Structure 1
């Protein structure tokens, strides 16, 4: 589970969220740029979580969608699992 939590995509999404939270502490008004930044962060977080889920499914031998970035590595991940 550690390898999923400390993945670079997830860490960068969390870091971006912390940065956005720090920006809320200032007394600046909530503008459309702030809304777009939060929307972008939400999409980034969803993609990072999706990649973690796809990697886990591939390692367990389950099929994953063809549009996933992990789909090309699915055979390699399955071979690692079978080697254990």
Structure 2
């Protein structure tokens, strides 16, 4: 589980969230740019968590969606397993 928690995608999403929280502490105005930054952070966090879930499923032999970056590796592993 440690390899998933300390993945680069998840770490960058967390540090981005910390940066946004620091901006809130400075009592700056909440503008449309701030709203877009929070939306972008939410999307980044969702993609990082999705990548972790897909990687875990693939390692346990589960199926992964075709749009996942892990799907090509999984297809290669399935071909090898079926050849055995």
TM-score range, shorter chain: 0.7 to 0.9
Mark the runs of 5 or more structure 1 residues left unpaired by the alignment. none
Q: Which runs of 5+ in 2 are unaligned?
A: none
Taking the aligned partners of 1:78 and 1:49, their CA distance within structure 2 comes to 24
Which whole-Å CA distance do the structure 1 matches of 2:64 and 2:43 have between them? 20
1:77/1:26 CA distance change after superposition, 3 Å = farther
Count of aligned positions:
84
C-alpha separation in 1, matches of 2:26 and 2:48 = 28
Residue by residue, what CA displacement relative to the aligned partner does 1:20-64 show, whole Å, maximum 9, x if unpaired? 000001121100000000000000000000000000000000111
State the Cα RMSD in Å: 3.1
| Larger Cα-atom Rg | 2
Return the offset for 1:12. 0.2
